[in-house]
Structure 1
């Protein structure tokens, strides 16, 4: 059975972001796709210090939830990352987690499904959504889309529950994830890629 990791980057465990992710999870369940919601909690999240030790060991030097998630990553066929909107961008705790998770486990994301979900009271959703998608688009992940950008609106979970279009967008996202999972399984392993050529603007 396929399984998707839903990462809740909000400091509020059962807030607006959770409400959006729960809509995705419920629809995935209807489509026989298992899911698990990982809440990052309220404690400070160490940011990446660019020590590059993870490129030698496959795990981060800071032994916390990042390494716990890396250790379990093979259980999952993809992830949906959810964040509230803070000043036109995603939550800092979440981006610190993703910076370290995606870099430490680099090479283990190819062919897996990814999507971002954002929650805001009024504005900033598009910029936050774009920022989160950048993680997936440079790691050979398959980005799942929906009928609109994956966003919900509301100041409270009760408000989000009234956002009919937003919740429908979450359900459509779940449908597309399930459909992509079937296609990926039928297509087999991801391609063998060339070794990455790294350049910069003075070379």
Structure 2
């Protein structure tokens, strides 16, 4: 069992990284392998809606998105971490997620892969960034993993996060809950597979004329 961990911060050893480290250590203690991909320090451009991926099964831009796609496919879950910028997630990680989720829509099924957002902020804006990332999961039939508070830590530098004892506690509980959910889903998948997803209708409210 494996979880793909995305660090959306440009600071590889900053607050977001510290939070992710806490979740990863907990997952590993629960027997779940983790694979880390650093996105926030990469040059990631946004989707241009060219539909190249619909014909070729990969994004037209050959960068970290295409490299991460097979890691996502084989993972049982994904954690996306981001700092908070103007009450939202880092633009690079959002561009990465737009292209990762869209370009893989026709190549593998994300149903019952579990997802979690992890947010760091100095003071505020974290819950709206948290909401932004969770929307990628809810449109993909992916259960969202919860904890005992919103999945966030507070601090300006990584050393500040060490003082956020509740935040680190939240990360550990998140890791345990994710491990439990992955194991439970995998046990059910062995006997019944994943729930069927209807995709016959794609309503755009045209009048047909």
Q: What TM bracket, shorter-length normalisation?
A: over 0.9
| Corresponding residue of 2:16 | 17
- Alignment length, in residue pairs? 202
Matched residues in 1 for 2:98 and 2:62: separation?
15
Matches within 5 A, 1:65-76: 65-76=64-75
Question: What SS does the aligned partner of 1:115 have?
Answer: strand
| Corresponding residue of 1:133 | 134
Matched residues in 2 for 1:152 and 1:196: separation?
41
Q: C-alpha offsets along residues 18-71 of structure 1, whole Å, 9 cap, x if unaligned?
A: 000000001111111111221115232111001111122221000110001113
Question: What SS does the aligned partner of 2:82 have?
Answer: strand
Residues 22 and 171, structure 2, Cα contact 8 Å, conserved in 1: yes
Matched residues in 1 for 2:78 and 2:51: separation?
24
Give runs of ≥4 in structure 1 deviating > 3 Å. Answer: none
Question: What SS does the aligned partner of 1:142 have?
Answer: coil
| Corresponding residue of 2:204 | 200
Matched residues in 2 for 1:62 and 1:49: separation?
10
Residues 40 and 93, structure 2, Cα contact 8 Å, conserved in 1: no
Q: C-alpha offsets along residues 163-192 of structure 1, whole Å, 9 cap, x if unaligned?
A: 000000000000100110111011112122
Is the deviation greater in 71-80 or in 157-166? 71-80
How far is the alpha carbon of 1:196 from its aligned partner? 4.2
| Corresponding residue of 2:30 | 31
| Corresponding residue of 1:3 | 2
| Corresponding residue of 2:103 | 104
Matched residues in 1 for 2:134 and 2:91: separation?
15
Q: What TM-score do the two structures reach when normalised by structure 1?
A: 0.96
